[in-house]
């Protein structure tokens, strides 16, 4: 539901051509923000921006590889030229395509090019976008910078070693933003996302993930975008330097919870 809580604000969402990023720009724009839809995939970014413009919203598609400092400075300049200011940066871009996920494996089988790419896009990209938006936010007297992190940056898993490492490092960035620029009105926060599937996954795997969520279902893009809109807006004006966990309780229960639940079910009991 539109609230107008971001009316007059300008937001950049990176990696907004697909998936959660695309939903985030839609929701930020629904709340009144003018949005920059930034992505390495310009065609996808253009489609998202065009669909928003067709609804009478202000949107700009920008092609940027966030791992390139040249691309990032050009992106910030384009958004400043078009909208005059930048109030919100959501560092959402991550390299997650099928080829990357196949090569970003367990440590002994890790393809180091995939590792380097995960760090370059997911971590360096967020640092670069943050570095180049801060001077503008300082001039304006404030802003909100958001980082998309993951449960995989907190808990060990079987694969995606580069992705997990990049997401773990991202947890420090909101704290640095808060400590270094909080007095000048810039807030930094992360959203630690559970599973809101954007890539095909086998049903058996989805079932395991569903069992481990403390909600009836896995997350939806809208549920994540609502948290991003909260962190972008003045509703969260006293929230900074922290990570808001939006994971349906995936990271909050004991490792034994699911097997215990199944054991009790098999015994025809609901608890010990």
Ligand X SMILES: NC(=O)c1ccc[n+]([C@@H]2O[C@H](COP(=O)([O-])OP(=O)(O)OC[C@H]3O[C@@H](n4cnc5c(N)ncnc54)[C@H](O)[C@@H]3O)[C@@H](O)[C@H]2O)c1
Q: What is the distance between the alpha carbons of residues 229 and 27, in angstroms, rounded to a whole number? A: 7
Which is closer to ligand X, CB of 99 or CB of 265?
Answer: 99
DSSP state of 216: S
Minimum distance, C-beta of residue 270 to ligand X, in the bound complex (Å)? 30
Q: How many Cβ atoms from other residues are within 10 Å of residue 196's Cβ?
A: 19
Beta carbon nearer to ligand X, 61 or 193: 193
CB nearer to ligand X: give 31 or 117: 117
Neighbouring CB atoms inside 10 A of 120's CB total 18
Q: Which of 40, 53, 44 is nearest to 82 (CA)?
A: 53
Secondary-structure breakdown of the chain: helix, strand, coil percentages, each rounded to the nearest 5: 50, 15, 35
Residues that bind ligand X (CB under 6 A): 14-15, 17-21, 39-41, 44, 64-67, 92-96, 121, 125, 148, 150, 193, 195-198
**Nearest distance, CB of residue 7 and ligand X, angstroms:** 26
3-class DSSP state of 64: coil
- In terms of CB distance, is 120 or 186 closer to ligand X? 120
How far apart CA 106 and CA 142 sit, in angstroms, is 41
* Residue carrying the six token digits 């002994």: 108
Residue nearest to ligand X (CB): 19
CA dihedral 55→39→225→232, nearest 10 degrees, is: -90
181 labelled catalytic: no
Min CB(208)–ligand X separation in Å: 14
The answer to whether 49 touches 29, Cβ cutoff 8 Å, is no
CA-closest candidate to residue 117, choices 159, 162, 53: 162
Q: Which of 83, 147, 163, 181 is catalytic?
A: 163
Q: Residue 125 corresponds to which tokens in the numbers above? A: 């990209």
Q: Rank residues 136 and 246 by Cβ distance to ligand X and give the closer one.
A: 246
Residues with a known catalytic role: 163
């Amino acid at each position: 539901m539109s609230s107008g809580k971001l009316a007059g604000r300008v937001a950049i969402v990176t990696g907004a051509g697909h998936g959660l990023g695309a939903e985030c720009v839609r929701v930020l724009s629904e709340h009144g923000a003018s949005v920059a839809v930034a992505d390495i995939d310009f065609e996808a970014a253009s489609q998202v921006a065009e669909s928003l413009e067709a609804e009478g919203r202000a949107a700009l598609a920008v092609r940027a590889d966030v791992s390139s400092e040249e691309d990032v400075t050009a992106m910030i300049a384009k958004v400043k030229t078009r909208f005059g200011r930048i109030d919100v940066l959501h560092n959402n871009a991550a390299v997650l395509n099928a080829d990357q996920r196949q090569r970003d494996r367990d440590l002994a089988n890790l393809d180091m090019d995939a590792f380097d790419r995960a760090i370059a896009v997911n971590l360096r990209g967020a640092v670069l976008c943050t570095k180049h938006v801060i001077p503008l936010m300082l001039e304006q007297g404030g802003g909100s910078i958001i980082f998309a992190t993951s449960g995989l940056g907190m808990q060990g898993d079987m694969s995606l070693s580069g992705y997990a490492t990049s997401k773990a490092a991202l947890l420090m960035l909101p704290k640095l933003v808060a400590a270094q620029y909080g007095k000048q009105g810039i807030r930094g926060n992360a959203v630690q996302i559970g599973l809101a599937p954007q890539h095909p996954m086998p049903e058996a795997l989805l079932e395991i993930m569903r069992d481990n969520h403390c909600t009836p279902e896995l997350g939806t893009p809208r549920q994540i975008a609502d948290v991003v809109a909260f962190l972008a807006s003045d509703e969260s004006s006293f929230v900074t330097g922290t990570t808001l966990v939006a994971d349906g309780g995936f990271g909050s229960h004991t490792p034994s919870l699911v097997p215990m639940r199944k054991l009790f079910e098999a015994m025809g009991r609901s608890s010990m």
